[in-house]
Amino acid sequence: MPNYAVVDLGSNSIRLVVYDVKDAHKRTCTNKDFKSLINDKVMAGLSAYVVDGVFTQDGIDRAVSVLRGHAKRARYFDCEKMEVFATAVIRNALNCEEAVAAIEEAAELPISLLSATDEAHLGFVGATCDRAVERGTLVDIGGGSTELTRIESSLDFDNASIGQGSLSSFAQHVRAILPTPGEMDAIAEAFRKRFAGLPNSDAYRSEALYGIGGSVRAAAKMHAQATGAAVRPKTMTKQQIHAILAWCRTDPDTFAHAALKASAERVHTLVPGCIILGELFDACGAERLDVCKYGVREGYLIDRMLR
């Protein structure tokens, strides 16, 4: 069975996943048609290397260093294909084309730069590879952006990107590690304004949200930590997200210790991600969030590499 390597060059992390694919020529694929052999994540924090809208040479060097390491690891698996895709941190940079060219040349790897629409669609493909979703709103809170997709009759529509994610919210609004109540309010207000500026924000109103990405998983881990659950929940409610935020406001010291246990590598982006989730719950009129196992990487594998 052939192996396929996908590298996700994101705002917060650069992740390599090598998949063992049963049949690379099937017309339709589900999660039963592949399994991950390795899942190697480096918290590169590339959004910190954006200065005045420009992705700096230090950021390029950091990306290249991680990509070279991932490529070396992937070679051990004799992959049929290895592909790299980049998202908001590069896409939104003023020197986007120059940065991509510089990384490609130094890392000796081609990079597929996903548009906001592409990213949202691939998230939908990945999220639905293990389930049927008739109707709802798909949410992907990344480091530098938040992607939204309206799902109707099991198809995706109105793919949109909001230029605010968990890491960019932290960088722009938080002075220490955890945000103060005032900083939490500022993050929420900034996101509300961006959401209201969407061409058709009412399109995303739905009882159910479907969440993908690290920020959603971190919120689920934090809820498990708060309740003493052995595993993170597959479904969360609006009340549970707001309870996490209320805990941070009222007892930040105890919250910080719990957050380190829940998701140490995301302790600084956990609360901003939960704030965005809370705002989406309210704006979309949703009551439930399903935490999806698969996302953009699996969508890229299925839609771009296996079709």
- 109-150 residue pLDDT tens: 999 999 999 999 999 999 999 999 999 999 999 999 999 999
Instruction: List pLDDT tens digits, range 65-93.
Output: 999 999 999 999 999 999 999 999 999 99
Share of the chain above pLDDT 90, in %: 94
- Whether 131-291 and 3-113 are alike in CATH topology: the answer is yes
Under the banding of pLDDT at 50, 70 and 90, the label for residue 28 is: confident
Q: What value does the mean pLDDT take over residues 55-65? A: 98
Class for the domain spanning 131-291? alpha beta
Asked if 176 and 272 touch (Cβ cutoff 8 Å), the reply is no
pLDDT surpasses 90 at 216: yes
Tell me the residue ranges of DSSP E strands in the chain. 3-9, 14-21, 34-42, 50-51, 54-55, 81-86, 111-113, 135-141, 146-152, 155-162, 208-212, 235-237, 288-291
pLDDT at 19: 97
Q: Which residue has the tokens 């998230």?
A: 123
Residue 24 has what pLDDT? Answer: 76
Q: Is the dihedral of CA 203, 209, 211, 216 positive or negative?
A: positive
Q: Which CATH superfamily is domain 3-113 in?
A: ATPase, nucleotide binding domain (3.30.420.40)
Contacts of 34 (CB under 8 A, 6+ apart): 4, 19, 20, 21, 22, 298, 301
Give the per-residue pLDDT at 27. Answer: 74
Extents of the domains making up the chain: 3-113, 131-291
